[in-house]
Structure 1
């Protein structure tokens, strides 16, 4: 009986391998679908007025026709901040008192002095008869006295406070309940410079800055279409950050516009410091490692996307704009691909796809071939690898993880250090640690070469988010390669492709134009055909006007 049981032991490895190969993919599939379908409990939030402190319309803080009362209300609401300035003046020779309220640093002092305060102090046209007519005061001041382009009348404190905190000036007049909001936004801002995160080889060298209005001007300079539409939103209960939705009316699919409007209006958060918040809150699948929106500092990339029927989101306070919908092939393209002839552009794209394959598969293929599939390696190469691994105490997966983790730490350290020091640390650190590890017998020379090729390949991605996704998946690929060899790599690859086939970006298939099959769009995917032949926009964008030229 014992000998019979022992006769089945050699087959146990096959049964265990088959069982593991079934359990791991099935377990990941079940976990992923459970997380995606799980509805996290949401806490009940109050209305925006509940989070605005004293900004409400109760009897205590209600605006009246008494200037002292109104100023007292403003001081009790935002006067506790030292940068909020209250300045009382007398309007001309009428004897009527007024006051301006603004935030020092956000309002343009020169514009405030020359175009608001000075005209009010020196005006002689507003006689006492006009000043006695309460209904005409604000209209005459706005139309005849103050040479400010932007001006509007508000009737409540909750409408007045956000305008003042945005950089505008509030004009209060004794005897008038309404408040005149005058456009005086200014303050310090960074000059337009070359994009930092996206190196420009050929093309415009201006990049977005942290000022929303400057960024919209950069787009207007490139697209003078009267149908270019910009819709403003206030995002963040406390921050009240300005967000601009930009698209071309009549070109961008209207259903797509309505969908992005719906998602933006559902955002409920206190603070939005960067466009990455918006990306995470409105993307289709928050569990996917792949980015479903494209971020960029380049106005030319945004303008080109708008012309193709996509939309863009610009957030005040960040130079990074968001573009959607996108596909994986769009993530692998660069604006320089269209600024040069089609042959070098196509060659560079093919090189990027080859580098993506190496960045994802190279370490795992090495581990699988060394651990399980020795017969697939040429004999001379096997002898060279065995000689290099002589004395290495760890299996291939351990030395691979050691080198990959070390490389990721060096890469992160290089990003966090000052630019001049970070580049030196990344290069010198990699060389020194790699050489020291080989001499100490911790890793083999061939593993250092594999990891170095993988690192170089991961730097070729035009989009940083795609590179991060590949780096994450590379570790998973290495683990299944150590467990199941080439069979595990194939299973993991099938899971990745199944996820990408199902993934969408605002209703557009992420693997378009490959899945679903759309051969007409292949002219601008892996290769780029001559511009004279690209006379139609891609079908995947679902633009209302498909004719490009």
Structure 2
């Protein structure tokens, strides 16, 4: 127990290289200026020139000019139309305007900085040219669509809500979690025919500007005539499209997006797609779950280690079985020799064919379970697995030990929190099975060495994919494997 305390104490004392986070908004006091250009500059600079900031100029019959500002991702423009624009038509002079704002229970602010927090909550600011104060009107967006927990990323503890197909609602969910003026939203349009709207979300001052510029550069190359989805965008953003490993994380959870944005990463959201891309990522990030941070650190660390162990099991277990039965049967314990012999001696195929039959059968059952309606899919998965497994063993096509190996492999591949990484793991075991059938343990080591070399060379948005293993960083490596207690994880803050 003492070495754990020393480990955490060392981490506490060395804070210079910690990942920065963002503190709650600290906006400097700024009075409303009578020169409107100064107010406009302050608003845009404070909100980092975020492109979801809308500016509208209104003229009264008396000649006075009004300026309205709001975030269209947080404010509901229908409310503005119904409760303000419709009544503004009847306004003739400033006295009528002040009476209208009083009846609408608008809040008067002598300082523009005081109104910024309300803008981030969905209110709109009304500035009157030549007046040293402003008003804020309650126009917060109300999400009417049911937002349910993503089926592919279910957690035990934490927020049970996910992204939907509406881009503005998704940005609204993220802004609800990060009510900070440095949250920056930039829009772009992709596709020659679809003209799909895409939002690039980052934290100004924390995100690397070079990475943000690179994302814009790569998105500018998207010229697909197909419907733009997060999968299409991901291929244009990847450093290596031929790698089996996912270089960006796709998630349907806004809280996962928010956590990564606060760490300096970039989120790309596509209108009409309930999935966000988070980049850049490392290999170890795919084995982290929100439950790790919401549960006790002992529990979070244990299950994180289980997930990482599942990668090794899912990739190598069928290959190990093939190598042992074909080449290295001498390592089988004496007590199990007759059990293995009786199981495989009547099988007409070599172990590699046996393994391929069962692995492909499992993949067929999994695909059928996904494509069919939920009640039927579950039935196919359970009944199909039991019936086929029992039938092939009784018929003598596959050994009972192979059934156990394939089942354990399938379970290990589903432990990964990321669906993309789970698919990569299921593909990576087939080359190892072939090499194990040809060269035994030597083939497995050779194939794993190729995987390791590829991981060390791979990058995600120019950043090392296998960091902190390559390049090696002991401090960051232990933080990737162990869930550091929140009280011991002192992070550098950025205002």
2:172 matched to 1:217? Answer: yes
2:343 matched to 1:388? Answer: yes
State the distance in 2 between where 1:224 and 1:406 align.
Answer: 49
Aligned length: 375
TM-aligned CA deviation for residue 523 of structure 1 = 3.5
Q: TM-score, normalised by structure 2?
A: 0.71
Range 521-530 or range 416-425, more displaced = 521-530
State the distance in 1 between where 2:157 and 2:494 align.
Answer: 23
Residues 113-136 of structure 1, C-alpha deviations (whole Å, 9 max, x = no match): 96899889x9797xxxxxxxxxxx
Please provide the CA RMSD for this pair. 2.7
Number of the residue aligned with 2:188: 233
Number of the residue aligned with 2:200: 245
Number of the residue aligned with 2:70: none
Residues 52-72 of structure 1, C-alpha deviations (whole Å, 9 max, x = no match): xxxxxxxxxxxxxxxxxxxxx
Contact conserved, 2:322 with 2:433, CA < 8 A, in 1?
yes
TM-aligned CA deviation for residue 471 of structure 1 = 0.8
State the distance in 2 between where 1:477 and 1:382 align.
Answer: 24
Contact conserved, 2:315 with 2:426, CA < 8 A, in 1?
yes
Structure exhibiting the larger radius of gyration computed from Cα positions: 1
Number of the residue aligned with 1:205: 160
TM-aligned CA deviation for residue 240 of structure 1 = 1.1
State the distance in 1 between where 2:258 and 2:79 align.
Answer: 32
1:244 is paired with a residue of what secondary structure?
A: strand
1:532 is paired with a residue of what secondary structure?
A: coil
State the distance in 1 between where 2:174 and 2:188 align.
Answer: 18
2:354 matched to 1:399? Answer: yes
Contact conserved, 1:301 with 1:335, CA < 8 A, in 2?
yes
State the distance in 2 between where 1:389 and 1:189 align.
Answer: 60
Contact conserved, 1:208 with 1:299, CA < 8 A, in 2?
yes
Q: Among residues 429, 434, 448, which one is paired with 1:493 in the alignment? A: 448
Q: Among residues 367, 382, 397, which one is paired with 1:427 in the alignment? A: 382
Are the structure 2 counterparts of residues 353 and 111 from structure 1 closer, same or farther at C-alpha, using a change threshold of 3 Å?
A: closer
Stretches of 4+ aligned residues off by more than 3 angstroms: 108-120, 122-125, 546-549
Number of the residue aligned with 1:361: 316
Number of the residue aligned with 2:490: 535
Q: Among residues 501, 505, 508, which one is paired with 2:460 in the alignment? A: 505
Contact conserved, 1:295 with 1:322, CA < 8 A, in 2?
yes
1:234 is paired with a residue of what secondary structure?
A: strand
Number of the residue aligned with 1:318: 273
Number of the residue aligned with 2:475: 520
State the distance in 1 between where 2:80 and 2:173 align.
Answer: 26
State the distance in 1 between where 2:479 and 2:227 align.
Answer: 35
Contact conserved, 2:188 with 2:198, CA < 8 A, in 1?
yes
Number of the residue aligned with 1:344: 299
Number of the residue aligned with 2:326: 371
State the distance in 1 between where 2:160 and 2:216 align.
Answer: 31
Residues 73-472 of structure 1 mapped to structure 2, 5 A cutoff: 190-472=145-427
State the distance in 1 between where 2:226 and 2:146 align.
Answer: 25
